[in-house]
A and B are shown apart, each in its own frame.
Chain A
Amino acid sequence: MKRPTGVAAVGYGATPYYRRGQSPHAERKLLLMAIDEAATMAGIDAAEIDGFVSYGADLEDGPRLTGPLGTKELRWSSLVWGGGGGGSSAAIAQAEAAILSGQAETVVVYRATAESTSGRLSSAVIQGVFGIQYRAHGIDSPAQALGLRTQRILANGVPPSALRAIARASYFHAGNTPHAVGRDVDLTDELYEGSRRIVDPIRLYDSSRENDAAAAIIFTSAERAADLTEKPIHLLASAYGAQGPRWGELDENHEPYTASSQASAARRMWDRTGLGPDDVDAVQLYVNFTGPPVSALVDLGFCTVEDAGEVLTYENLVAPTGALPINTSGGDLAEGFLHGMGNAVEAVRLLRGESYNPVPDAKVCLVSGGPISELSSVSLFGTEPLG
């Protein structure tokens, strides 16, 4: 059999973002509904899905889903190992690997979390990461560890206005997105500056908040995608990993301390596609807090530490007029937090012309997964395959 030449997304599905602990459905049911929605969009029977990939602390492995989906043949089931939300686009990379190698044909990438099944997401994602070198001193939350790194980002010269612009652009886009949890918040400079302090230097509006939700994207070969849908969204590249000189689970001793760990993945992505930051029409950034996405944008080549204040302005980051629209659904801060899965869904949604914040003539959208994680990832989507 001929090997596929490319991979494309043929459907996505997402449940509402419920307040954490408030989902009326159990976690697996949420996920099944999201997968069904994606399958309907793709025009396939959900039983045809033969591969399952997730990341982070997801509990819903493939064999848990094959029963209720009536899976005809299970050919792939994998979880990205390490990195928490940094694995969000790595899951897409594993789907790509499965399809291009011929191991599987129709692979769903997903993330599901409901407190009634898997407990607090913030607890699940840090299980085992914050050892006693943290906890003996009262540090046991992502906000505190990312606070340490954000403080250092600011000390390096990134102005606080860059972080504020990321928050304001996210909430602006949420305002146009009916399902966004932050749709009713008009985030002015004053509201942002006056908001509750969580962990200095992180304010309330710098922080994502956990939701109960599930989301899924179905991938298949570009050849089969062309038969299934008039709007296949091509996966131009995906990559994951980390780059040092010292990177990993190192109790805040990694170097460079404020890097996103996406630099090497980004380099491989640009090398593979021949594209660069100038070719990207919108970026869906992982924003657990507003500091890490600044590091991602630096490592991805959209700005430098020195000019971050000039590039990362509210006007520049909002669709349809900004030069660098980010998080067009409101993203992790304001659409809802599903460990970054919503960002990949929005990339596909945007390129299909279905975003509530359309970017005129958008052809290429970048997804950045979980920067400043022990392992991080990127994926690049396009309306056309690479020439």
Chain B
Amino acid sequence: MANERDEVHPFEGRVDFPYWDGLGRDELLVQRCTGCARWSWPADWRCPRCGSYDLGWEPVEPRGVVYSWVRTHLAFVPAYAELVPYVNVLVELPGADGARLMGLFTGPEEGLEVGSVVTGTFQAPSARTLDLSVLTWSLEVAAA
């Protein structure tokens, strides 16, 4: 396979390693510049605003707004074949200046649309998730 943008071996050397590592502890971490406090997503090595290489990580509540979504009807990804049709969401995190995360949507779909509020659930690694801890997303249950 051709190199991905962030591919580094070993895995701990990746720029987004703290993100994956945090998910394994049920913590959502998003990169933020230590120099100018700019949220930085996807993670990278340099802050485009102030030029700093000193980028830290801050915890963010796994709660956001559906920026977009798709329902996949074909088995493009073999590991997800048995879930077809499945829904993915692109979730905007208000707690991280609108950084957007992709994820699998689970639970009732009624009312799902651009703008819906969703909450994330931490999931243990599996072969399906490339042995990575991930967040899945569900519609926020309105308070009774």
When distances are taken between beta carbons in the complex, the residues of chain A under 8 Å from B80 are 138
- For residue A183, CB closer than 8 A to chain B, the reply is no
Q: What is the minimal beta-carbon distance from A128 to any residue of chain B, in angstroms? A: 4
Q: Given A131-B4, A132-B132 in contact, is the A198-B114 Cβ separation under 8 Å? A: no
- For residue A250, CB closer than 8 A to chain B, the reply is yes
For the complex, give the distance between the alpha carbons of A140 and B83 in Å.
15
A250 pairs with B42, CB closer than 8 A: yes
- For residue A143, CB closer than 8 A to chain B, the reply is yes
| Partner pick for A151 among B70, B77, B79, B99, CB 8 A cutoff | B70
Size of chain B's interface in residues, with CB distance under 8 A? 39
Size of chain A's interface in residues, with CB distance under 8 A? 35
Residue-wise interface mask of B (78-107) relative to A, using a CB-CB cutoff of 8 A (1 in contact, 0 not): 011001011010100000000111111000
- For residue B73, CB closer than 8 A to chain A, the reply is yes
For the complex, give the distance between the alpha carbons of A349 and B5 in Å.
38
| Interface of chain A: mostly helix, strand, loop or mixed | loop
B71 pairs with A199, CB closer than 8 A: yes
Q: Given A137-B102, A253-B42 in contact, is the A151-B68 Cβ separation under 8 Å? A: yes
- For residue A231, CB closer than 8 A to chain B, the reply is no
Q: Given A251-B102, A252-B102 in contact, is the A131-B68 Cβ separation under 8 Å? A: no
- For residue A97, CB closer than 8 A to chain B, the reply is no
Q: What is the minimal beta-carbon distance from A25 to any residue of chain B, in angstroms? A: 26
- For residue B52, CB closer than 8 A to chain A, the reply is no
B70 pairs with A144, CB closer than 8 A: yes
- For residue B122, CB closer than 8 A to chain A, the reply is no
For the complex, give the distance between the alpha carbons of A127 and B2 in Å.
6
A136 pairs with B132, CB closer than 8 A: yes
- For residue A310, CB closer than 8 A to chain B, the reply is no
| Partner pick for A249 among B3, B5, B70, CB 8 A cutoff | B5
Residue-wise interface mask of B (41-79) relative to A, using a CB-CB cutoff of 8 A (1 in contact, 0 not): 110000000000000000000000001111111101101
- What are 25 of the A-B contact pairs (CB < 8 Å)? A127-B2, A128-B1, A128-B2, A131-B4, A134-B102, A135-B130, A136-B129, A136-B130, A136-B132, A137-B102, A138-B72, A138-B79, A138-B83, A143-B74, A147-B70, A147-B72, A148-B68, A148-B69, A148-B88, A197-B85, A199-B71, A200-B71, A251-B41, A252-B90, A253-B41
Q: Taking beta carbons and an 8 Å cutoff, which residues of B are in contact with A?
A: 1-7, 16, 41-42, 67-74, 76-77, 79-80, 83, 85-86, 88, 90, 99-104, 114, 128-130, 132, 134
